[in-house]
Structure 1
Amino acid sequence: MKTRRRLTSIILSVVMIPLACLVGLPFYYVVVNTFKTQADMSTNPLGLPTNPTLENYVGIFANSPVLLAFANTLYVTVVAVVLMVVVGSMAAFAMIYRRGPLATVFSVVLLFAFLIPYQTTIIPLYKMVVGAGAVDTLEGLIAIYLAGSVFCYFIIVGYMRTVPFEIIEAARIDGASPFRIYWTIVLPLIRPVLITVSVFQVMWVWNDYVSPIVFISSTEKVTLVLLAARAVSEFAVNWPAFMAVTVVVLIPMVIFFITMQKYIVDGLVGGSVKG
């Protein structure tokens, strides 16, 4: 038995290590070329830099609003994700707390809303945002992201169904209000799935390109991904500088994902084995 496990482990290592190297090659290519000059990159694109330099990073911080874009992206991501998780969890709690035909109908409506592709709603959304005077504002962009609350709802409601309903009934009999039950009883019990949903939504909002390119036009409101897209034309000749912008965009999410990846599996699997 031990021999079979060891053989399986060796086979997995032999298969997975080359695959990991293949997947990591593009990231290596981008990072290593940020420390090269244009000429060095042209002659030796995959090798280590002969004369490492930080001029590409110094140049983008001096000539591009990187810090402003980072602050805008951080603000939009934090506010949007908090609101999405709150709205999604409250909707899930309402479905659990008020069981009945109306809740079922509402759940079906949310399902159909979830199935509609976002791209097909951009034109009516844009007209609504224009009507509200929220075009080219970070708050308007946050309002657009609130549609992601539907995704939060479907992930959270499945986990929330594993919470023993007797706890809610007991709190209700003791005179606790619905909000108090939600805030003091249900939320602590579903914390793993809240973290999981937050991780998914943070990565979506941070890396999103479609919404900012449609609803944001001014430099003062630019996000990191939008800044990287505009850098394609700005640094069309200087590819190492463009790659430096790309690394600045990617590094926060890489660190965030490595830090939080264990919660993704814990939250998704937890609901299936809980109780």
Structure 2
Amino acid sequence: MIALAAFIAIPLYYIVVNTFKTQGDMVTSPLGLPRDVTLDNYSQVLSDPRMYRSFANTLYVTVLAVGLQLIVGAMAAFAMIMRTTRANRIIGNLLLIGFIVPGQSTLIPLYRTLVGFKLVDSLNGLVLMYLGGSIFCYFLIQGYMKTLPYEIIEAARLDGAGAFQIFWRIVLPLIKPILVTVGVFQTMWVWNDFLLPTVFISTPERRTVVLQVYNAVSEFTTDWPRFMTVSVVALVPMVIFFIFTQRHIVSGLLAGGLKG
């Protein structure tokens, strides 16, 4: 594991160390330490208002998309468990088919659909596309819900609680570990996604942070130290986010794998 981690860390080292170099220093010694440490690359990137706008766009899309994914996925899982009818089993199988179909194969019909609703080149249209991730949330949350003691739900029913009250007041607090786990996975996916923003976003003012990184590569000449600096700045929020939430990933998955 140490050897594998070291191998994977080489590209990361290459990117980070070159953010403190000039273009000439990088060409002379791409893997060596900088002879004269410079912060000009970070100064230029952080003074660019386009970076802050792209961060704001990405934050808007990520928060809204992941929040809706968790709500839709949790509600769907609750409905499937509470009513194990034949119709629900058929719907569950259809959702499974939707989960295994590659998203790349549906980009053209999805694009034509968004054109019809005038949601192309829109952050809200991008959020709508990410709602497809609700299927992933549904499967993980459903597996966790099956471990909940059904007696609690029955007791709430006897006390006169309806399905809506049971879901919001009893089930949601009990499934908080898996919600956090799934939220971490989906946040990292939406924040780092390149495909959907590339296809559905064209206006510079609506670019996400990943598109801003891609835009730093010029057709004819590229300031590679600055490009790598943009990449590092784009990665920092997710690295911090993962450090503070990684323990929830393991605890949430383990809690869903144990009965009782």
TM range (shorter): over 0.9
Structure 1 counterpart of 2:61, one-letter code: V
Aligned residues of 2:216 and 2:222 also touching (Cα < 8 A): no
Structure 1 counterpart of 2:51, one-letter code: V
Mapped partners of 1:234, 1:228: distance in 2: 14
Partner of 1:3: none
Question: SS of 1:263's equivalent?
Answer: helix
Mapped partners of 2:208, 2:84: distance in 1: 41
Mapped partners of 1:166, 1:46: distance in 2: 61
Mapped partners of 2:74, 2:218: distance in 1: 42
The equivalent position to 1:150 in structure 2, one of 129, 135, 149, is 135
Partner of 1:32: 17
Structure 2 counterpart of 1:176, one-letter code: A
| Long gaps (5+) in structure 1 | 1-15
**1:212 is aligned to 2:182:** no
Partner of 2:244: 259
Structure 1 counterpart of 2:126, one-letter code: L
Mapped partners of 1:235, 1:165: distance in 2: 63
Partner of 1:88: 73
Partner of 2:146: 161
Deviations 1:115-150 (A, max 9, x none): 111011111111111111111110010001001000
Partner of 2:3: 18
Provide the alpha-carbon RMSD of the alignment: 1.4
Partner of 2:98: 113
Superposed displacement of residue 114, structure 1: 0.9
**1:239 is aligned to 2:218:** no
Mapped partners of 1:85, 1:236: distance in 2: 43
Mapped partners of 1:220, 1:266: distance in 2: 39
Superposed displacement of residue 235, structure 1: 8.6
Deviations 1:42-80 (A, max 9, x none): 112122211111111222234561000001001100110
Mapped partners of 1:274, 1:26: distance in 2: 42
Question: SS of 1:175's equivalent?
Answer: coil
**1:192 is aligned to 2:177:** yes
Superposed displacement of residue 194, structure 1: 0.3
Partner of 2:155: 170
**1:139 is aligned to 2:119:** no
Extract structure 1 runs of 4+ deviating beyond 3 A. Answer: 61-64
How high is the TM-score relative to the length of structure 2? 0.96
Superposed displacement of residue 113, structure 1: 1.1
Deviations 1:17-64 (A, max 9, x none): 333222212111101100100111111212221111111122223456
Aligned residues of 1:34 and 1:56 also touching (Cα < 8 A): yes
Structure 2 counterpart of 1:102, one-letter code: A
Question: SS of 2:257's equivalent?
Answer: helix
Partner of 2:253: 268
Mapped partners of 2:5, 2:170: distance in 1: 42
Structure 2 counterpart of 1:76, one-letter code: V
Considering only CA atoms, is the larger Rg found in Structure 1 or Structure 2?
1
**1:66 is aligned to 2:51:** yes
Aligned residues of 1:235 and 1:242 also touching (Cα < 8 A): no
Superposed displacement of residue 274, structure 1: 3.6
Mapped partners of 1:242, 1:193: distance in 2: 37
How high is the TM-score relative to the length of structure 1? 0.91
Partner of 1:7: none
Aligned residues of 2:70 and 2:179 also touching (Cα < 8 A): yes
Structure 1 counterpart of 2:187, one-letter code: V
Deviations 1:166-210 (A, max 9, x none): 211111121101111001111111111000000000010001011
Question: For 1:38-77, what aligned pairs fall within 5 Å after superposition?
Answer: 38-63=23-48, 65-77=50-62
Deviates more, 1:234-243 or 1:50-59: 234-243
